[in-house]
Structures are given as structure tokens and as C-alpha cells.
């Protein structure tokens, strides 16, 4: 949520800021703005709407540097130009952009108002600009000192960047619970909340940790703490490329990323299959064989699609490693008082590596002595650096808000983890070879699923006019149904619910009617008879049925069958997820939705 970009150097800042903000549009936002330093002071431009609207609104002479830009996802006040960032003090000397939430904003605003400050917005962020200005009035000698004095009064989460018209050679940034990083260029520097903003400008980045600040100038950077202790930080190299973040000739990022899944699964597997011992090689776990054998339980934490992937991961771990495993929404886990067991392995799942609820759960576990590994896509992200070890997905940038390639890559990573743990225990070499053969077959089978896109689009157009859609599945099909329902509602806005097939008789069957389509996950496994019995119950009540199956089902069980290639039972959910992504995509297109940026949603959820 929200995006920050900053630039200091010899070039005009505005074009660089606009390009960076454009690369952050996938995060979700409702307004945008820029501030640049000129010889006559700061220039600020803000709009409610898209980055393209901001670019169109800029005057021809909006030139200068340094500059900061922001895309806002509303938390305090409606998405209006007044509430958009950057925010300034009354004199227009200080400009601030901010991600996160200042929890004591009401108290700060009341105190500042009592001192005569008049606010121009409803936001929590504006208070920071006035606090920095007040610090100068109280005797702060430079921008670093003024920002430190201001932040000592702030309670809450923030990633922020601050400019001062009277110090136009620098930007000061700070982090506490919301990501901020520095980009190191040649006689120029960048700041951002996400590495995606820097693609094409630099591959050298410096990640700030909570409680750290930095000053960037054209010649370099200095990192320090709130009490002005120096912190040594070295740049890391990012491996994302411009091509991976470009839409190319695709209509939307979402369909591009769906179609990339054969390659992303290959990357997730690359270098991790050990055919000599019929196992998976996962050196990043930082677990010895002895430590892995001592694990008695696995607990998986994630939010949204990451949690559904965790449900599938838990079943893989139980099936292959015979270790009790379960998944739970990190947003719920963080608010209870969990029992943290020394022989439990905790797994945090996050595409962005910045999901605030998941990060808070990780930190709580580590405070209580828990061992936590991560399954993360973004190298160098906060969760990736916080955990004790883990698995990178290497799926490349996922620009659409809806998770697709990151979901299937996550489940693939869980299959590797389950294989690794299983072979350390009692999984036989023969069973290990079976799973490896299934994993190696996935890329080609996903390509076969993608060839059915036109047929799936026809089904999608049929259900797009429905008020609601029911998704059902048993065992491994149940998390697939949940993920399918989420995809449909988040990108098409068609209401969708998912239920375990066996639960229909316990209430939801009352909803079945000719107006309610059901999407059923019907793999050809040992529960096939149970699943076809469920379809009979739905058809007996005249409910339309669309089945995902490994064979064509008779018309008295399904109105339409989408026949999928068959893999091993443990891996079939990966393949079954892909047609549901296509179903959601084509339904959204048929309804004219903003496919890549669904309303009210954000890619990286960094606020509660």
C-alpha cells in the first residue's frame, strides 16, 4: 500500500519520480503527488486519481531536484488533492511523504493546533511536516536533527521521506515498520518504498531497518539512528530486470503473469532437485539434518492467497513428511497469545516480504524463541531479512494486485520443503522420485492448461452475469476452491464463496438454485465418488455446475467440464489453480473491470 519515490542528483526529478510511481501502481492507491526543490522554493502538485492524471496536471516548467513523490491509499481522510501527499508545513518549506499510520496523530494535531498551526488536510502525515518545521523554530541546525526531533514525538508505523527548501541538496528518510530503501547511482541517489520503483536506474540498494534514518545527497548516503548513532550499511544487488516488470504486448499484467507460470515454476525448481538422493536441496533453510529431524510440528502463517497456499503446504508436509502441520491467517495469529513450542517450525509466507501482519507475527515468534523460516518472492525484503532462513520464489516482479505466479510458486516451494523433510524422515526413495517426476512435469502441464484459455473465457462470460458463485472442493481441493473464490471476487467484484464439499449439507445447500453457479474441484483421486455425489446433490436442486476434473463428467453431474492434465495427487492443486486464475481474469475483462488494480485493494499490505 502507498508508494514512495525520491531522487537527488543532477537530473530533473519529476520524470524520474513519475516513472517510479508508475512502477508502484500495482501496490494500490487512490491519489498521487510530487514535490521538487527549485531556486524559488518547493513546488508541489497533487491529484486524486492515477499517476497519469498527475503527469497530465504538471505544468511544463515543473523542474528541479531533489524531489519526492507518493501514491496514497487512503487511511485518514478521503482521496482528495488536499489529503494527497506530499504534505507541507504552513510556510511551504518542509515537504513530507509517508507510508504507514501515526497512531498518536490526533494528539499531535491537537497540540500543534493549540500552538496556532492550521491544518490543510485530514491526514496524520501533515502533522510530521509541522513537527519538523517546529523543530527548526526550536533551534535544530539541519534537516537531520529536525527530523530526529520530530520523530521522537511520533508513535506508530512509518516509512517517510522529507525535503527542506533551505537544504535543497538532500532528502532525509526514516523507517519504522514500513519499508524504505536507498538506490545508489552514479553521482545521484534514489529512495523508494519498493525496489520496483528503481528498476532501470540502479541495481545497488541499501535496506533500512526499523529505527534507522538516512540522509541521501548526490554523492552518497549516511545511515544513523534516532539518537544519531552511525549505522554501517552496504549496498546489495537486486536481480529484477526491466523486462520482467514491463507489460509488453499483453492486455494486462494479470494475464502476462498467469502465462509466465511455466517459467516461474521452472525457476522455483532450478538447482533445488537432488536426483541422486531423490530429495530437494534447500540450503537457505539454515537447518541441519539433526534440527530438521527434531521438528515435531509445522505452523504456516500468511494472509490472503499466501494463507491458502499455506493450507496446501500443510497438507503436503503432512502427506510427505508425516509431520503435523497447519496454516493460520497471520492477521489472527498476531493478536492472540500463541503457545510457541521449541520443536515447532514456523513458516512465514509473503510475496512482497513486507506484509505487516505477517511481519508482526514473525517478530512475536522470535521474541518468544520460535524458529521461523520464510517463503518470500522479493529478495532483501523485510521478512526475508528478519527470518532465520527460507526459500526465495524467484518468480520475478508480480505487478498485478492479484497473486497468480507467486501463488503457484509458493505451493511449489512447499512441495520442495515437504520433500526435503520427508526424505530426512521416512519417505522412501521411490516416493521421492515420484514427487520429483511430478514437479518436473508441472511446467509443460501448465502450458497445456493455458492452451484452454479461450474455452475458459467462454465459461467466464457465462458466470460474469451471476450475482454470486459457489466454489467447492474436498481435501486438497478445498484450499484451491478458496483461492478460486478469492480471485473471482477481487478482480471481477462478483461475490463468491468457497465451502468444503462435505459442508454443503450443513447449511450452504440452501443457497443452491438455477441462479447460483457452482465451480467444483473434482480431481481423479480416492475421493472422486464423494465429489460426484456432491455434484448430484447440486444438480438435483437445478444448480449449474462447472467442474474442474481429470476426465469429462457426464451431463447429469456437470453442465461444463474443464478437463485438466493429471499430475501426482499431492501436486494436482497447483494445476487446478491455474484455470481458476483464468476464469477470474476473463470474467473481470467481460465486466470491464480495472483488472490489475482492483478497487479498494493493494498489492503490498503495509498498514493494519
**One domain, residues 96 and 134:** yes
Quote the CA–CA distance of 532 and 553 in Å, as a whole number.
9
Is residue 449 a part of any domain in this protein?
A: no
**One domain, residues 582 and 484:** yes
Quote the CA–CA distance of 369 and 347 in Å, as a whole number.
14
Q: What pLDDT band is residue 252 in, cutting at 50, 70 and 90?
A: very high
For residue 259, what pLDDT is reported?
96
74-86: pLDDT as tens digits? 777 788 999 999 9
| Three-class secondary structure of residue 319 per DSSP | helix
Residue 70's alpha-carbon distances to 21, 215, 501, in angstroms, are 7, 18, 45
Q: What is the DSSP code (8-state) at residue 467?
A: S
For the CA atoms of 58, 60, 66, 72, what is the dihedral angle to 10 degrees?
10
pLDDT of 535 above 80: yes
**One domain, residues 266 and 315:** yes
**One domain, residues 182 and 161:** yes
Is residue 131 a part of any domain in this protein?
A: yes
Quote the CA–CA distance of 546 and 242 in Å, as a whole number.
39
Is residue 601 a part of any domain in this protein?
A: no
Residues comprising the chain, all counted: 608
Residues 6+ apart with CB under 8 A from 79: 30, 31, 48, 72
**One domain, residues 214 and 90:** yes
**One domain, residues 484 and 384:** no
| Residue where a domain terminates, one of 238, 259, 278 | 238
Grid cell listed for 138: 526550536
Nearest CA to 302 out of 605, 29, 607 is that of 605
For residue 606, what pLDDT is reported?
52
Positions annotated as catalytic residues are: 2, 603
Q: What pLDDT band is residue 563 in, cutting at 50, 70 and 90?
A: very high
For residue 237, what pLDDT is reported?
85
Range with lowest mean pLDDT among 57-61, 169-173, 212-216, 437-441: 57-61
pLDDT of 124 above 80: yes
For residue 247, what pLDDT is reported?
79
Q: Are 91 and 61 in contact (CB under 8 A)?
A: no
Instruction: State the average pLDDT over residues 97-112.
Output: 92
What's the domain range around 548? 456-590
Q: What pLDDT band is residue 178 in, cutting at 50, 70 and 90?
A: confident
Residue 372's alpha-carbon distances to 362, 367, 537, 573, 578, in angstroms, are 7, 11, 44, 25, 29
Label residue 18 exposed, middle or buried (CB < 10 Å: 0-12, 13-18, 19+): buried
pLDDT of 248 above 90: no
Is residue 451 a part of any domain in this protein?
A: no
pLDDT of 545 above 80: yes
pLDDT of 604 above 70: no
User: Residue 64: left if φ>0, alpha if ψ -120 to 50, beta else—which one?
Assistant: left
Instruction: State the average pLDDT over residues 369-378.
Output: 94
316-325, 495-504, 539-548 — most confident range:
316-325
Q: How many domains does the chain have?
A: 3
For residue 101, what pLDDT is reported?
87
For residue 49, what pLDDT is reported?
87
For residue 451, what pLDDT is reported?
96
Entry pTM? 0.81
| Residue where a domain terminates, one of 397, 424, 444 | 444
Instruction: State the average pLDDT over residues 449-460.
Output: 96
Instruction: State the average pLDDT over residues 467-472.
Output: 95
Is residue 504 a part of any domain in this protein?
A: yes
**One domain, residues 471 and 334:** no
Is residue 8 a part of any domain in this protein?
A: yes
Nearest CA to 267 out of 419, 432, 397 is that of 397
Q: What is the CATH number of the domain that holds 112?
A: 3.60.20.10
Q: What pLDDT band is residue 244 in, cutting at 50, 70 and 90?
A: low
| β-pairing verdict for 41-48 and 31-38 | antiparallel
For residue 75, what pLDDT is reported?
74
Instruction: State the average pLDDT over residues 19-29.
Output: 81
Nearest CA to 460 out of 281, 589, 355 is that of 589
Q: Are 256 and 250 in contact (CB under 8 A)?
A: yes
For residue 243, what pLDDT is reported?
46
295-320: pLDDT as tens digits? 999 999 999 999 999 999 999 999 99
Percent of the chain with pLDDT over 70: 97
Q: What is the CATH number of the domain that holds 322?
A: 3.40.50.10490
Percent of the chain with pLDDT over 90: 76
In the chain the first and final C-alpha atoms are separated, in Å, by 10
For residue 392, what pLDDT is reported?
93
Is residue 599 a part of any domain in this protein?
A: no
**One domain, residues 226 and 287:** no
Grid cell listed for 169: 541538496
Instruction: State the average pLDDT over residues 394-398.
Output: 88
Q: What pLDDT band is residue 601 in, cutting at 50, 70 and 90?
A: confident
pLDDT of 7 above 60: yes
Mean pLDDT of the chain: 92
338-355: pLDDT as tens digits? 899 999 999 999 998 888
**One domain, residues 150 and 76:** yes
| Residue where a domain terminates, one of 385, 410, 444 | 444
**One domain, residues 107 and 229:** yes
pLDDT of 15 above 70: yes
**One domain, residues 231 and 344:** no
**One domain, residues 512 and 434:** no
Residues 6+ apart with CB under 8 A from 46: 31, 32, 33, 34, 54, 81, 82, 84, 85, 86
Quote the CA–CA distance of 335 and 582 in Å, as a whole number.
35
Q: What pLDDT band is residue 438 in, cutting at 50, 70 and 90?
A: very high
Is residue 602 a part of any domain in this protein?
A: no
For the CA atoms of 202, 205, 211, 213, what is the dihedral angle to 10 degrees?
-50
Amino acid at each position: 500500500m502507498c508508494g514512495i519515490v525520491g531522487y537527488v542528483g543532477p537530473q530533473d526529478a519529476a520524470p524520474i519520480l513519475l516513472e517510479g510511481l508508475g512502477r508502484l501502481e500495482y501496490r494500490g492507491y487512490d491519489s498521487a503527488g510530487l514535490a521538487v526543490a527549485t531556486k524559488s522554493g518547493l513546488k508541489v502538485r497533487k491529484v486524486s486519481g492515477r499517476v497519469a492524471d498527475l503527469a497530465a496536471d504538471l505544468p511544463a516548467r515543473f523542474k528541479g531536484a531533489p524531489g519526492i513523490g507518493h501514491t496514497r491509499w487512503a487511511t485518514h481522510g478521503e482521496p482528495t488533492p488536499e489529503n494527497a501527499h506530499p504534505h507541507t508545513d504552513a510556510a511551504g518549506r518542509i515537504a513530507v511523504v509517508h507510508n504507514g499510520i501515526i497512531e498518536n496523530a490526533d494528539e499531535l494535531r491537537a497540540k500543534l493546533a493549540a500552538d496556532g498551526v492550521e491544518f490543510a488536510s485530514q491526514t496524520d502525515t501533515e502533522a510530521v511536516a509541522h513537527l519538523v518545521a517546529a523543530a527548526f523554530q526550536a533551534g535544530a541546525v539541519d534537516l537531520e536533527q529536525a527530523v530526529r526531533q520530530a520523530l521522537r514525538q511520533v508513535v506508530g508505523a512509518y516509512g517517510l521521506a522529507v525535503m527542506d527548501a533551505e537544504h535543497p541538496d538532500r532528502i532525509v528518510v526514516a523507517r519504522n515498520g514500513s519499508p524504505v530503501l536507498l538506490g545508489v547511482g552514479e553521482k545521484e541517489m534514489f529512495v523508494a518504498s519498493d525496489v520496483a520503483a528503481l528498476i532501470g536506474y540502479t541495481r545497488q540498494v541499501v535496506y533500512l531497518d526499523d529505527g534507522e534514518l538516512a540522509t541521501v545527497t548526490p554523492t552518497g548516503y549516511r545511515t544513523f539512528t534516532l539518537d544519531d548513532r552511525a549505522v554501517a550499511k552496504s549496498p546489495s544487488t537486486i536481480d529484477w530486470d526491466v523486462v520482467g516488470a514491463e507489460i509488453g504486448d499483453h492486455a494486462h499484467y494479470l494475464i502476462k503473469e498467469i502465462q509466465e507460470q511455466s517459467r516461474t515454476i521452472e525457476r522455483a525448481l532450478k538447482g533445488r532437485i537432488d536426483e541422486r538422493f531423490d530429495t530437494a536441496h534447500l540450503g537457505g533453510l539454515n537447518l541441519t539434518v539433526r534440527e530438521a529431524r527434531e521438528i515435531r510440528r509445522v505452523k504456516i502463517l500468511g494472509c490472503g492467497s499466501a494463507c491458502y497456499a499455506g493450507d496446501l503446504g500443510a497438507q503436503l508436509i503432512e502427506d510427505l513428511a508425516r509431520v503435523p502441520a497447519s496454516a493460520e491467517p497471520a492477521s489472527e495469529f498476531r493478536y492472540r497469545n500463541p503457545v510457541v513450542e521449541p520443536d515447532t517450525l514456523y513458516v512465514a509466507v509473503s510475496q512482497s516480504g513486507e506484509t505487516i501482519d505477517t511481519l508482526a507475527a514473525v517478530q512475536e515468534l522470535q521474541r518468544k524463541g520460535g524458529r521461523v523460516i520464510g517463503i518470500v518472492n522479493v529478495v532483501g525484503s523485510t521478512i526475508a531479512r528478519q527470518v532465520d532462513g527460507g526459500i526465495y520464489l524467484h518468480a520475478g516482479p508480480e505487478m498485478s494486485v492479484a497473486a497468480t505466479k507467486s501463488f503457484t510458486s509458493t505451493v511449489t516451494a512447499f512441495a520442495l520443503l515437504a520433500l526435503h523433510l520427508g526424505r530426512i524422515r521416512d519417505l522412501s526413495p521411490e516416493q521421492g522420485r515420484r514427487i520429483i517426476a511430478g514437479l518436473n512435469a508441472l511446467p509443460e502441464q501448465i502450458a497445456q492448461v493455458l492452451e484452454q484459455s479461450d474455452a475458459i473465457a467462454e465459461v467466464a462470460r457465462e458466470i460474469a452475469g451471476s450475482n454470486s458463485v459457489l466454489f467447492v472442493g474436498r481435501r486438497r481441493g478445498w484450499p484451491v476452491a478458496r483461492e478460486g473464490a478469492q480471485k473471482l471476487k477481487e478482480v471481477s467484484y462478483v461475490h463468491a464463496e468457497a465451502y468444503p464439499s462435505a459442508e454443503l449439507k450443513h447449511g450452504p445447500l440452501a443457497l443452491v438454485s438455477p441462479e447460483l453457479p457452482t465451480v467444483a474441484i473434482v480431481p481423479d483421486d480416492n475421493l472422486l465418488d464423494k465429489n460426484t455425489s456432491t455434484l448430484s446433490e447440486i444438480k438435483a436442486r437445478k444448480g449449474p455446475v462447472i467442474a474442474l476434473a481429470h476426465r469429462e463428467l457426464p451431463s447429469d453431474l456437470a453442465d461444463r467440464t474443464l478437463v485438466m492434465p493429471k499430475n501426482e495427487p499431492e501436486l494436482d492443486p497447483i494445476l487446478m489453480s491455474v484455470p481458476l486464475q483464468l476464469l477470474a481474469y476473463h470474467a473481470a475483462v467481460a465486466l470491464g473491470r480495472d483488472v490489475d488494480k482492483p478497487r479498494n485493494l493493494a498489492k503490498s499490505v503495509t498498514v493494519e
